[in-house]
Amino acid sequence: MPQVEMDKVEPLLEQYEDQRLNLIPILQDVQETYRYLPELVLRRISKKLRVPLTEVYQVATFYRCFSLVPRGKHVIQVCLGTACHVRGAPRVLDRILRDLKLPHAGTTEDLQFTVETVRCIGCCGLAPVARVDNTNTHPHLTQAKVGGLLKKYQEKAEAPKAAKPDEASHAKA
């Protein structure tokens, strides 16, 4: 088990009342802070909220926005819904995976990227589409555009204290 900085949890837990209904908001905050849900943290939450660990685990494994293994700095969600599929999303996904040297959807070894497939993100007019970090939607993707898209976030990851990514900025081909 990797070392977990537990000191980040306590201030986070203090923002909420110890009530069952706060479980999901807390888990969301933890997911944002650690980029995954560490086991020790889940145990702490279970104790603090007096919710059985099984229930915490049940919620943590139910929703796809939670992960029990570390996720990358940037989460790339490639839409494989019907419209995107028809317009070539599988090829885009293949290209992303090849560029990141991933055998299948998952997290790169340097924890920079996590590639996920999603069913539909509700903008079929922009197909094929991928969304990065839940905010930046990249429309009309082609294999040729993938390199630029990845480079943009790779550079951002390397630059120290990079500015916040622009909302809905489009990758240049």
Nearer of residues 29 and 39 to other proteins, judged by Cβ: 39
Nearer of residues 45 and 132 to other proteins, judged by Cβ: 45
Q: Which string of x and - marks every residue 94-113 that binds other proteins (by CB under 8 A)?
A: --------------------
Alpha carbon of 69 to those of 57, 96, 136: distances in Å? 13, 21, 23
Q: 18-23 — which CB contacts under 8 Å span 24+ positions?
A: 18/48, 18/49, 18/50, 19/49, 20/49, 20/50, 20/51, 22/49, 23/49, 23/51, 23/55, 23/56, 23/59
Instruction: Find the shortest distance in angstroms from Cβ 62 to other proteins.
Output: 5
Cβ pair 16, 25 in contact under 8 A: yes
Nearer of residues 19 and 61 to other proteins, judged by Cβ: 61
Instruction: Find the shortest distance in angstroms from Cβ 168 to other proteins.
Output: 30
Nearer of residues 42 and 129 to other proteins, judged by Cβ: 42
Task: Return phi, psi of residue 35, to 5°.
Answer: 65, 10
* Per CB under 8 A, 80 contacts other proteins: no
Instruction: Find the shortest distance in angstroms from Cβ 1 to other proteins.
Output: 10
Site size toward other proteins, by CB under 8 A: 11
**Cα(169)–Cα(135) distance, integer angstroms:** 10
Task: Return phi, psi of residue 95, to 5°.
Answer: -65, -45
**Cα(111)–Cα(90) distance, integer angstroms:** 23
Instruction: Find the shortest distance in angstroms from Cβ 36 to other proteins.
Output: 13
Nearer of residues 58 and 135 to other proteins, judged by Cβ: 58
Instruction: Find the shortest distance in angstroms from Cβ 109 to other proteins.
Output: 23
Name which of residues 24 to 63 contact other proteins (CB under 8 A). 39, 42, 52-58, 61-62
The one-letter amino acid code at 37 reads L
Q: Which residues make up the interface to other proteins (CB under 8 A)? A: 39, 42, 52-58, 61-62
